[in-house]
Amino acid sequence: MNDMKANKINFSLFLVVAMGILVAGCSKNKDPKPGDQSQIAMKITVTASGADQTDQVDFGVMAANHNTSQYNAPVWKMNGTVQGNQNSILLDLNNFTGSTKTYVFETVKPFDFGGLQIHVSNLYGGPITISYKAEINGKIETSAENVVIADGQSHDKNFTYAPK
């Protein structure tokens, strides 16, 4: 059980560090000009089933701008409900052991860049099945359906999205 807590802490720290690197790595000379079409709208769908209290399931989404135009404004809708000005949302095991197994995240407005992080560890028991899809400006950029994580295995992915 301590390994599960350590993995969750490590994933959370990874998410925070990744967001910090993305934000810190952006300089002012890269800011889009007003009316610039170099931003992206994101729709990310994640599903997990078969997880139990001995497993670790973490999905994280983030969106940000090179400037501060996102602050104090809605960033994400989760299953149709605005989540306030959270630029990142982390779902854990508890989000997938109840009746809701699928979450749809949509940016409220376009952003300069975003990401999807996935960490699923099947520590004991039956298989966990996950699916995830990222649509960027209406086009599928990442898609994995019915990925089965067997007992003792894990699935780790980190995707970043920016205008093309």
Q: How many domains does the chain have?
A: 1
Residues 130-156: what's their mean pLDDT?
97
CATH number at residue 102: 2.60.60.50
Helix, strand, or coil (residue 139): strand
User: What pLDDT digit, counting tens, does each position of 98-112 carry?
Assistant: 899 999 999 999 999
Q: What is the Cβ-side half-sphere exposure of residue 116, based on CA atoms within 13 angstroms?
A: 24
Identify the H or E element spanning 127.
Answer: none
Enclosing domain of residue 90: 2-24+41-161
Residue 47 lies in a domain: yes
Cβ atoms within 10 Å, residue 24? 8
Tell me if 11 is assigned to some domain.
yes
Neighbouring C-alpha atoms within 13 Å toward the C-beta of 126: 5
pLDDT of residue 104: 98
This prediction's pTM: 0.78
Q: Provide the pairing of β-strand 56-64 with 42-49.
A: unpaired
